[in-house]
Amino acid sequence: MEKMIQVLLVVTVGRAFGKYAFVDEEKTWTDAQQYCRQYYTELASVSGPEDDLKLRQATNMFSWIGLYREPNNETGWKWSGGGYATYLNFKSGQPTNEPEEFFGCTSWHGWYDYYDVPATFYCLSLFVVREPKTWEEALEYCREQYTDLTSLLSETEMLLAHREIQEQAQTALVWTGLRFLGDRWLWVNGDPVDYQAWPPGGGHQCPARNLRCGAVGKAGPWEAHDCQEKLSFICY
């Protein structure tokens, strides 16, 4: 609840779209990271070309994302939420790897590495709703109050989900937007299921009829769970 109130207070500078918010206020990368952690979840991570396109279509301004480089590793690009970046979209000639250019920003033309100077930025937003609901009830609530049940598209998003669940969830497991329909698992918002976090041997085969909704706990992998059980859930 406290975080929801804080978000309402900054709505004049933050424009939300899906799991992201564009903040039209210039801050250094370091200060932008602190701002996103206070009012949203984290500086934005980008899991693939679909996420990248959403950001590039939101504005043509040079804006910070949560990308940074380890000082002594020219190829060691990581996300501020945790984990190495497995998807990169630097503009031709970038990154330059100049001294002190440790931080990643995005624009319509691609990504750049740059110094820690003031710029607009993108945050990523995940909201844990503590009140337990069935999977269908959780889906309806997220679509009415937020955007959708969340999809977890990378190691970074899993780490952030674990962090939020540990701090906010009322139940040991929480619902995600993962659903078994037809003959496969999918994200209900249409995101691709390229990244997967099932335990070894779990989730890939046809699950029992009552275990066709995806949940995640405070740590560990995805779980196939009974859709009628009431759990806390995570929206974006």
CATH number belonging to domain 127-235: 3.10.100.10
State pTM to two decimals. Answer: 0.88
Cα 46-47-50 angle, rounded to 5 deg: 85
- Report which of 130, 147, 146, 161 is spatially closest to residue 47, judged by C-alpha positions: 161
Least confident of 29-38, 133-142, 171-180, 199-208: 199-208
Res 121: pLDDT: 96
Strands 63-69 and 103-107, by their bridges, are: antiparallel
Asked whether the bond before 221 is cis by omega within 30 degrees of 0, the reply is no
Residue ranges of domains in the chain: 2-124, 127-235
Question: Position of tokens 């004049």?
Answer: 12
Which CATH class, in words, describes the domain spanning 2-124?
A: alpha beta
Read off the tokens for 218.
């405070």
CB 141 within 8 A of CB 129: yes
pLDDT digits (tens, 9 = 90+) for 133-145: 999 999 999 999 9
Query: 16 has which bridge partners?
Result: 21
pLDDT of 12 reads: 43
Spatial distance between the Cα atoms of 26 and 121, rounded to a whole number of angstroms: 7
Q: Which of 176, 171, 185, 190 is nearest to 235 (CA)?
A: 176
Supply the pLDDT for residue 204. 63
Helix (H) or strand (E) holding 94: none
Predicted confidence (pLDDT) per residue in 153-198, tens digit: 999 999 999 999 999 999 999 999 999 998 899 999 999 999 999 9
CA distance 189 to 139: 10
Q: What is the pLDDT of residues 83-136, one digit of tens each?
A: 999 999 999 999 998 888 899 999 988 999 999 999 999 999 999 999 999 999
Cβ partners under 8 Å of residue 191, min gap 6: 50, 151, 153, 177
C-alpha distance from residue 78 to each of 10, 31, 144, 172, 210 (Å): 27, 17, 34, 29, 38
Say if 2-124 and 127-235 have the same CATH topology: yes
